Amino acid sequence: GVDSQLFTPERRCTELRREWGLSKDDLALIYVGRIAPEKNLAMAVEAYRAIKRFNSRIKFVLVGDGPQRQSLQRENPDLIFTGMRMGEELGKHYASADVFLFPSETETFGNVTLEAMASGLAVVAYNYACAKLHITNGETGVLVKFGDAKSFVGSACALVREPRDILRIGRLGRQYASYLGWDRVVERFESLLLNTGRQGRGAAASPLRRRLAT
C-alpha cells in the first residue's frame, strides 16, 4: 500500500523547483532512498549524463543519505543532494520532480516506486520486485529488463525525449496508485480474513481437529 494523500501531485511546488534551477517547462529527474553502492546509483547518474547531451537544462535530484553520498557529491557537483526528507516535505520533493529513476537491483520490494507513482511521476525501473508487480510498461511506468544497464539508460533517454509521455504515464501511475491507498488495502485484507474464516467454519472437521476436540 501507499499513502496516496501524503504522496500526491498536488504537493508540486514551484518555489522548490526554482531552488533546483528549473523553470515551468524544465524537467527534473529524482531518486529517493539510501545513497549506497547497493542502490546502483552510478547507473542513474549515467542515464542523467546521457540525457544532458540533448537536454542541458534537466536536473537530477537525490533525496536521502548514506555512505556513498560524499563521494557522489564530490564527483558530481551538478547533482542536487537534499539530504533526508520526511512527511509532507518528502511528498513535496517527489511531486516537484517529473521522472523517477530507480536502478536498484537489490530490492525485496521497493515501496519508493509506489510513492513515486502516487506522486504523479513517470517511473523508470527494472522489471522485478515492486515495479514488476505494479507497473504496466508504457502505461503506468517504464520497465527495463533486469540488469540491462544499456536499456536502462536508453529507456530513460527515450522517455525524456517525449514530455507528453511523461505526463501521460505520470497521470496513469497516479490513478493506479490511488487504488492502493491503505484504507483500500486494509479493506481487502479484512475481506480475505472474513472469507477465510467463513470457509473454515463450513469445512468438515479434519482428523487433526477431531483429535484436538477430544
Same domain, 204 and 163: no
Structural domain of 195:
183-213
Query: What is the pLDDT confidence band of residue 185, given thresholds at 50, 70 and 90?
Result: confident
User: Per-residue pLDDT averaged across 6-15, rounded?
Assistant: 98
pLDDT in tens, 32-46: 999 999 999 999 999
What pLDDT sits at residue 196? 87
Query: What is the pLDDT confidence band of residue 189, given thresholds at 50, 70 and 90?
Result: confident
Query: What is the pLDDT confidence band of residue 187, given thresholds at 50, 70 and 90?
Result: confident
Round to whole Å and give the CA distance between 196 and 39.
39
Same domain, 162 and 192: no
In a domain, residue 120? The reply is yes
Amino acid (1-letter code) at residue 125: A
Same domain, 19 and 98: yes
**C-alpha cell of residue 181:** 491507498
In a domain, residue 2? The reply is no
Same domain, 97 and 159: yes
Round to whole Å and give the CA distance between 9 and 142.
19
Q: For residue 28, give the nearest of 20, 36, 37, 38 by alpha carbon.
A: 20
Largest CA distance in the chain: 77
Same domain, 27 and 121: yes
Same domain, 176 and 96: yes
High-pLDDT (> 70) share of the chain, %: 94
What pLDDT sits at residue 178? 92
Question: Is residue 99 within 8 Å of 121, Cβ to Cβ?
Answer: yes
CB burial of residue 146 (10 Å; 0-12, 13-18, 19+): middle
Same domain, 166 and 78: yes
In a domain, residue 98? The reply is yes
In a domain, residue 43? The reply is yes
Same domain, 123 and 29: yes
SS3 104: coil
Q: Flag whether pLDDT at 212 surpasses 50.
A: no
Q: Flag whether pLDDT at 214 surpasses 50.
A: no
Outline where DSSP puts E strands in the chain: 28-32, 59-63, 80-83, 99-102, 122-126, 142-144
Question: Is residue 121 within 8 Å of 98, Cβ to Cβ?
Answer: yes
pLDDT in tens, 54-84: 999 999 999 999 999 999 999 999 999 999 9
Round to whole Å and give the CA distance between 170 and 159.
12
Q: How many domains does the chain have?
A: 2
